[in-house]
């Protein structure tokens, strides 16, 4: 049972990465529908399958920009530009391709793909080792002895695979401290500020000494005056930033191990891959 290797794909992370890597490509269908991002997405997916040899694969997606986080903080991700016009029609098409490969598409309105990934990864880790394929460093908070986060680096088949040891070696923190770091420093890509004036270096030093934000707050009197003043001035944002950073692992999504078994029906896949002019990619798994 524990020999299972479950690959959980961060769908949007892969699709956006594929789009920008393939932006030079004019790959389109006869009706003009662009397919460059889909082509790159499938390449990345098959590269990962060939690298990690999973027994099971599933894919998680964002289901719109409105989530419980935007309700908590209206500026959350407000700095993000709209998706490129020629990427938009590929959102639904790529899910059709994923489904043709008999990979479950998982997403739920009101939550981010991160929360679905967090929930499913914990459930699936009972059955084997989980590998989360993403470009999102926030996922590092999910690392356990049985959950590994695979960060895609520049180029194809170039990964940093984080387990507990490598996370401590590379980042100097434990998984739970990923959230504590975000609370202190904020996250510019998600557009929440943390504590104004506290950078990564200071945050790492504070967490090394006091372990957590709660530990820091219990020792405010021992902090340098300037650091103490910054934290006290931004206490509400400190707590809010930590809340925004924390991935929920109790989202109401279901996916059984059997549903995500990696067994491609080449006949079914070939029909759809021919329709979208992607058949050259099937040889990567054939």
Question: pTM for the complete prediction?
Answer: 0.95
Least Cα distance to 217 among 197, 193, 236 occurs for 236
- Above 80 in pLDDT, residue 26? no
pLDDT digits (tens, 9 = 90+) for 154-174: 888 889 999 999 999 999 999
**With pLDDT > 70 as the criterion, what percentage of the chain qualifies?**
99
pLDDT of residue 174: 97
Give me the chain's average pLDDT, please.
Answer: 93
Mean pLDDT, range 261-270, rounded to an integer = 87
- Above 90 in pLDDT, residue 14? yes
The superfamily in CATH containing domain 175-245 is 5' to 3' exonuclease, C-terminal subdomain (1.10.150.20)
The residue ranges of every structural domain in the chain are 4-167+248-284, 175-245
Mean pLDDT, range 26-52, rounded to an integer = 90
Given this structure, which CATH class describes domain 4-167+248-284? alpha beta
pLDDT of residue 80: 87
Which whole-number Å values give the CA distances from 202 to 133, 139, 206, 207, in the listed order? Answer: 30, 22, 6, 9
Residue 254 phi/psi, 5-degree rounding, is -125, 140
SS3 86: coil
- Above 70 in pLDDT, residue 1? no
- Above 60 in pLDDT, residue 46? yes
Residue pair 121/162 in contact by the 8 Å Cβ criterion: no
Confidence band, pLDDT 50/70/90 cuts, at residue 135: very high
């Amino acid at each position: 049972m524990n020999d299972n290797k479950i690959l959980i794909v961060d769908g949007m992370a892969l699709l956006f990465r594929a789009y920008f890597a393939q932006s030079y490509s004019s790959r389109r269908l006869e009706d003009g529908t662009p397919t460059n991002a889909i082509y790159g997405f499938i390449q990345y997916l098959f590269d990962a399958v060939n690298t990690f040899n999973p027994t099971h694969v599933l894919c998680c997606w964002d289901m719109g920009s409105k989530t419980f986080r935007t309700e908590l903080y209206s500026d959350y991700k407000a700095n993000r530009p709209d998706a490129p016009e020629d990427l938009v029609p590929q959102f639904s098409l790529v899910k059709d391709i994923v489904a043709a490969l008999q990979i479950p598409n998982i997403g739920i309105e009101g939550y981010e793909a991160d929360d679905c990934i967090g929930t499913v990864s914990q459930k699936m880790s009972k059955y084997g080792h989980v590998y989360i394929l993403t470009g999102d460093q926030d996922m590092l908070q999910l690392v356990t002895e049985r959950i590994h986060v695979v960060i895609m680096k520049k180029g194809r088949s170039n990964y940093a695979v984080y387990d507990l040891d490598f996370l401590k070696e590379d980042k100097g923190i434990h998984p739970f401290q990923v959230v504590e770091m975000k609370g202190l420093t904020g996250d510019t890509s998600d557009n929440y500020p943390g504590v104004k004036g506290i950078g990564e270096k200071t945050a790492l030093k504070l967490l090394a000494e006091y372990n957590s934000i709660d530990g820091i707050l219990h020792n405010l009197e021992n902090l340098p005056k300037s650091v103490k003043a910054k934290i006290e001035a931004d206490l509400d944002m400190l707590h809010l930033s930590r809340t925004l950073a924390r991935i929920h692992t109790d989202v109401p999504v279901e996916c059984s191990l059997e549903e995500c078994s990696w067994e491609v029906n080449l006949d079914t896949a070939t029909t759809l891959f021919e329709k979208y002019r992607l058949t050259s990619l099937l040889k990567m798994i054939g």
